[in-house]
Amino acid sequence: MNLLPEEIEQIRDRKWRREEILKIETASEIETLVEDLGFCLGLTDSRTNLPSVYIAVCGRRDAHAPRNVQKDYEMSLAWTLKDEVMSRGKIYYAKLCKGRSMFVAPRLVPYFNAVWGVPKKQEKER
């Protein structure tokens, strides 16, 4: 159940690429999405109320990951694009908040590090 006004959801549709005409098909489009938003989750579906690569690849609000993700075209494309984006190295990718994989724009890495980073003293322990 979503408690946000429809106007907010429509803005999210455009910004998060939840519209068919805006859906993502290339690695450079993912990089643009992350630069525009600052961050987004990786392969999370619409049950998490944050932007994600998977939702943007699907191009719709109600994107739910199927049980058998190996045979799903959209999940396969999202996974392949994620790997390509990681190999290009233009945006940061890590498991940050609650162990969820996220993409972070380079300009925001210091802020995410301040919140979820490991202090220098503890680096060797981890």
Q: Give Cα separations from 93 to 4, 35, 72 (angstroms).
A: 29, 13, 23
pLDDT tens for 57-105 read 999 999 888 787 777 899 999 999 999 999 999 999 998 877 889 999 9
* Cβ–Cβ < 8 Å for 54, 65: yes
pLDDT of residue 1: 53
Confidence at 108, pLDDT banded by 50, 70, 90: very high
Centre a 10 Å sphere on the Cβ of residue 67 and count the other Cβ atoms it contains.
Answer: 7
Handedness of CA 9, 15, 17, 19 (dihedral sign): positive
pLDDT tens for 20-43 read 999 999 999 999 999 999 999 999
